[in-house]
Structure 1
Amino acid sequence: MNYPIYLDYNATTPSASEVIEAMLPYFGTHFGNAASKSHPYGWLAENAVETAREQVANLIGARPKEIIFTSGATESVNLGIKGTFESYQGEKQHYITALTEHKAVLDTFAEIEKRGAEVTYLPVDSSGNISLEELENSILPHTKMICLMWANNETGVIHPVKKIADLATSRNIIFFTDAVQAAGKIPVFTKGIHLMAISAHKLYGPKGVGALYVRHNHDLPKPLAQIHGGGHEKGMRSGTLNVPGIVGFGKAAELRLAEIKAEAQRLETLRKKLENRLLELSNTFLNGSQQSRLPHVTNIAFGGVEGEELLKMVNQKVAVSSGSACTSISPKPSHVLAAMGLSSDLGRASIRFSLGKNTTESEIEMVLNWVKKVVLELRKP
Structure 2
Amino acid sequence: MEIYCDSAATTAIDPEVIEAILPYLTTNFGNPSSSHWAGRKVREMIDNSRNTIARLLGVTAEEIFFVSGATEANNLALSESIREYELTHAITSKIEHKAVLQPLLKREKEGDIEISYVKLDKKGNVDLEHLERLLAANPQTLISLMHANNEIGNITDIEAISRLAKKYNAIFHTDTTQTIGKVKIDLNEFPVDFLVGSSHKFHGPKGVGFIYINKKHKLKPQILGGAQEKGQRGGTENAIGIVGLAKALEVAYRDFDSIHEKTAALKQRLISQLENRGIAEIGFNGESKSETKSLSSIVNVSFPCLQSGSLVNSLDTFGIAVSGGSACSNLGNGGSHVISAIQHESNRENVRFSFSKFNTTEEIDHIVNTIVKIYEVDNSIAEDTASAQHSFSLAL
Correspondence 1:203-222 to 2 at 5 A: 203-216=202-215, 218=216, 221-222=217-218
Distance 2:105 2:223 in 1: 20
Aligned partners of 2:140 and 2:168 also within 8 Å: no
Q: In the alignment, what sits opposite 2:368?
A: 368
Q: In the alignment, what sits opposite 1:11?
A: 9
Amino acid at match of 2:275: L
Equivalent residue in structure 2 for 1:97, among 69, 74, 92: 92
**Alpha-carbon spacing, 1:327–1:166, altered in 2? closer, same or farther (3 Å):** closer
The reply on whether 1:253 has 2:249 as its aligned counterpart is: yes
Q: In the alignment, what sits opposite 2:101?
A: 106
CA deviation map 1:59-87 (0-9, x unaligned): 32222211100001100001100111120
Distance 1:344 1:65 in 2: 49
Distance 1:171 1:8 in 2: 39
Q: In the alignment, what sits opposite 1:24?
A: 22
Distance 1:123 1:375 in 2: 36
SS in 2 for 1:155: coil
CA deviation map 1:317-352 (0-9, x unaligned): 310001063468xx6221001111132432xx0100
Distance 2:92 2:162 in 1: 14
Distance 1:92 1:184 in 2: 32
Structure 1 moving runs of 4+ over 6 Å: none
Aligned partners of 2:208 and 2:238 also within 8 Å: yes
Q: In the alignment, what sits opposite 1:166?
A: 163
Aligned partners of 2:165 and 2:172 also within 8 Å: yes
Q: In the alignment, what sits opposite 1:345?
A: 347
Amino acid at match of 2:27: T
Distance 2:82 2:331 in 1: 32
Equivalent residue in structure 2 for 1:276, among 272, 277, 286: 272
Q: Which 5+ residue runs of structure 2 have no aligned equivalent?
A: 383-396
Q: In the alignment, what sits opposite 1:175?
A: 172
Question: TM-score if structure 1 supplies the norm length?
Answer: 0.92
Distance 2:227 2:117 in 1: 34
Amino acid at match of 2:347: D
Q: In the alignment, what sits opposite 1:311?
A: 312
Distance 2:177 2:334 in 1: 24
Correspondence 1:31-50 to 2 at 5 A: 31-36=29-34, 38-50=35-47
Amino acid at match of 2:284: L
SS in 1 for 2:310: helix
**Alpha-carbon spacing, 1:306–1:151, altered in 2? closer, same or farther (3 Å):** farther
Equivalent residue in structure 1 for 2:118, among 112, 118, 122: 122
Q: Which 5+ residue runs of structure 1 have no aligned equivalent?
A: none
**Alpha-carbon spacing, 1:306–1:122, altered in 2? closer, same or farther (3 Å):** farther
The reply on whether 1:77 has 2:79 as its aligned counterpart is: no
Distance 2:65 2:331 in 1: 34
Amino acid at match of 2:95: T
**Alpha-carbon spacing, 1:231–1:188, altered in 2? closer, same or farther (3 Å):** same
Aligned partners of 1:298 and 1:353 also within 8 Å: yes
Between the two proteins, what is the percent identity of the paired residues?
A: 37
Distance 2:146 2:309 in 1: 28
Equivalent residue in structure 2 for 1:156, among 142, 153, 158: 153
Distance 2:246 2:92 in 1: 30
Aligned partners of 2:87 and 2:141 also within 8 Å: no
Equivalent residue in structure 2 for 1:286, among 284, 287, 303: 284
Amino acid at match of 2:323: S
Q: In the alignment, what sits opposite 2:387?
A: none
Distance 2:148 2:125 in 1: 11
Amino acid at match of 2:79: K
The reply on whether 1:266 has 2:265 as its aligned counterpart is: no
CA deviation map 1:232-257 (0-9, x unaligned): 11211111101111011111011111
**Alpha-carbon spacing, 1:378–1:195, altered in 2? closer, same or farther (3 Å):** same
CA deviation map 1:247-273 (0-9, x unaligned): 111110111110112110111011101
The reply on whether 1:59 has 2:56 as its aligned counterpart is: yes
Q: In the alignment, what sits opposite 1:133?
A: 129
Question: TM-score if structure 2 supplies the norm length?
Answer: 0.89
- Aligned CA RMSD, in angstroms, stands at 1.7
- Could you tell which deviates more after superposition, 157-166 or 282-291? 282-291
Larger Rg: 2
Distance 2:201 2:193 in 1: 22
Distance 2:182 2:308 in 1: 29
**Alpha-carbon spacing, 1:225–1:307, altered in 2? closer, same or farther (3 Å):** farther
Equivalent residue in structure 2 for 1:332, among 314, 331, 334: 334
Distance 1:279 1:123 in 2: 30
